[in-house]
Amino acid sequence: MSSDTRWPDQPSFLDQYADHRGWQHVSLARPGATNFCIHLQIERAIQDRANYVIVGATSSDRIDVAGNAYNQNLPIRLDLIYYANYHAASEKWVDNTHACIISDTLNNVIEHSYTDLDSTTKDTVKQYLRDLHNFDIEDRRNYYIIRDGLRELDRAGIPYLFIPGPLFYFDWSGFPVWQGTQPWDMPDGIGTRIINHNPPVAHKKFFDLLVQQTAKWA
């Protein structure tokens, strides 16, 4: 769940939770990110030895595209994903000096790219969406990607809570899964133009649920 730097008076439920606990909130979330990017965020959290992690899955109407600056066989890390220009608090935690991979919704890549992307690549993505993209296959692929990330957190021994979002219908047994209304449900409608889509009243509900479900965290 991204924190929007343009609306400091509308803190996300995660910002509120960190304040409530007296903890530092290191947000790696970014609007439009793919589940592949979220997996990289998990790897970064493990690398940084996070004390606790909240992970939220996203939809499969997204794509990862190598930009013009990408070099073949480059080890993929979170700092290679473009983070600039999204108005997300995570920009301060992810160095974009060497960013060369676009991770975003198909619509953003085609129509509203936050990065410079040549027209040929955009046309190729349009053709992919029109002729090849299959949501059932991509949902299953994304399930495997996120499931592996959760297993990495288990192996690292880091306590976490998982919000399945649009992938809720897959088998998440054995993982600590969020109970109740999810941010993805947008129970109180879409909030202004904030990047996490939920208005303050919804974030208060999510905050209360999070406090309840992490009562055992020190």
pLDDT reported for residue 118: 81
- Residue 36 inside a domain? The answer is yes
**Integer Cα distance of 116 and 107 in angstroms:** 15
Residue 7 belongs to a domain: no
Residue with tokens 């288990």: 154
Question: Is residue 203 in some structural domain?
Answer: yes
Answer whether residue 50 is part of any domain: yes
Q: For each of the chain's 218 residues, which pLDDT tens digit applies?
A: 777 777 777 889 999 999 999 999 999 999 999 999 999 999 999 999 999 999 999 999 999 998 877 777 878 999 999 998 888 889 999 998 999 999 999 988 888 767 777 888 889 989 999 999 999 999 999 999 999 999 999 999 999 999 999 999 999 999 999 999 999 999 888 866 676 788 889 999 999 999 999 999 98
User: What is the token pair recorded at 65?
Assistant: 């595209």
Considering the domain boundaries, does residue 178 fall inside one?
yes
Residue span of the structural domain in which 45 resides: 13-213
Q: Which pLDDT value is given to residue 11? A: 87
Q: Does any domain span residue 208?
A: yes
Question: What's this model's pTM, rounded to 2 decimal places?
Answer: 0.93
Domains identified in the chain, total number = 1
In a domain, 5, yes or no: no
Predicted confidence at residue 32, as pLDDT, reads 92
Residue 44 in domain:
yes
Helix (H) or strand (E) segment spanning residue 151? helix 135-156
